[in-house]
Amino acid sequence: MNANVVDVRNTFSEYLNRASYQGQRIVIERRGKPVAALVSLEDLELLNALEDRADVKAAKKARKEKGEVPLEKIKARLGMK
């Protein structure tokens, strides 16, 4: 479901109930463009678990790779010059 930011602001508790009790995912739009989403805590926890799983998988893969990456290259990749 999509909703305009003004509508969400004016009836926030209604949208909050839709997300938390009905499990609706609400895309909040500003000037017709999606800017945020309102989801249930259950959905957020699932998203966090999926991200954690992906991070663990990437870390395991990285540990299997051979060779070293120079610190300067890592800093540059992260924008930490």
pLDDT tens digits along 9-19: 999 999 999 99
Q: Return the pLDDT at 29.
A: 97
Which domains are assigned to the chain? 2-77 (3.40.1620.10)
Q: pTM for this one?
A: 0.65
Residues paired with residue 75 on neighbouring β-strands, in sequence order: none
Q: Where are the beta strands (DSSP E) in 1-81?
A: 2-4, 26-30, 33-38
71 — pLDDT class (breaks 50, 70, 90): confident
Q: Return the pLDDT at 63.
A: 78
Which tokens belong to 76? 């540059």
Q: Which residue has the tokens 């009905």?
A: 22
Residues 6+ apart with CB under 8 A from 15: 3, 8, 26, 38
pLDDT tens digits along 32-69: 999 999 999 999 999 999 998 888 888 888 777 777 77
